[in-house]
């Protein structure tokens, strides 16, 4: 049920998203932790169902207690949403910190981009970028490849190519093009 929900979720049709929500909800009710997280995300984002922050919180907390790895990050997003009547910056920060402790890739990417956007160098964000890249986030892989491409050592170029290959394997057309352009 959960796998079906994931496949349908990425469809643009509202009918598919409603179906995805139904599959996720059924799997969540059956006790699947990641389906509970996905159900909470559907409620938070209003995908396939009307936005409902109370139900989103309920399902995300269930997912957290069942051990779903991304629930802290989803709860951080929920609590940081100013449209949410339960908006709470402290809870959002606490859940984001917990997500980072568990090396949740999306939380790592947010932390890295926050550091970079505040003027810190990419080098000082490599730990978070690597966490995100190892979690399969292509944009983090490209950030790391960019960083190593600016270095002059042969080892740095090898690392840049390695990250570009990983991004290409994950389906990035940009990475494929950049690999083709490298010597």
pLDDT tens digits, 129-158: 999 999 999 999 999 999 999 998 989 999
Count of structural domains within the chain:
2
Range of the domain at 81: 2-102
15 and 93 belong to one structural domain: yes
62 and 132 belong to one structural domain: no
What is the per-residue pLDDT for 6?
Answer: 63
What's the CATH number where 70 sits?
1.25.40.10
Regions of the chain where pLDDT drops below 70: 2, 6, 12
pTM: 0.84
Alpha helices in 67-153 (DSSP H): 71-80, 89-101, 105-117, 126-134, 138-149
98 and 134 belong to one structural domain: no
79 and 46 belong to one structural domain: yes
What is the per-residue pLDDT for 13?
Answer: 78
Domain stops at, among 102, 129, 154: 102
What is the per-residue pLDDT for 40?
Answer: 97
Alpha-carbon distance 9 to 49, whole Å? 12
């Amino acid at each position: 049920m959960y796998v079906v929900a994931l496949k349908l979720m990425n469809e643009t049709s509202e009918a598919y998203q409603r179906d995805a929500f139904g599959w996720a909800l059924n799997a969540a009710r059956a006790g699947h932790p990641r389906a509970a997280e996905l159900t909470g995300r559907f409620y938070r984002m209003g995908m396939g169902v009307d936005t409902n922050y109370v139900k989103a919180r309920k399902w995300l907390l269930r997912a957290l207690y069942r051990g779903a790895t991304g629930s802290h990050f989803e709860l951080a997003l929920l609590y940081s949403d100013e449209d949410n009547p339960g908006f709470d910056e402290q809870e959002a920060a606490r859940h984001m910190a917990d997500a980072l402790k568990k090396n949740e890739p999306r939380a790592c990417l947010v932390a890295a981009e926050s550091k970079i956007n505040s003027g810190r160098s990419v080098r000082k964000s490599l730990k978070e970028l690597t966490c995100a890249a190892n979690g399969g986030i292509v944009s983090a892989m490209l950030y790391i490849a960019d960083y190593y491409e600016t270095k002059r050592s042969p080892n740095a170029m090898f690392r840049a190519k390695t990250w570009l290959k990983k991004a290409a394997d994950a389906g990035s057309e940009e990475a494929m093009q950049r690999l083709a352009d490298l010597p």
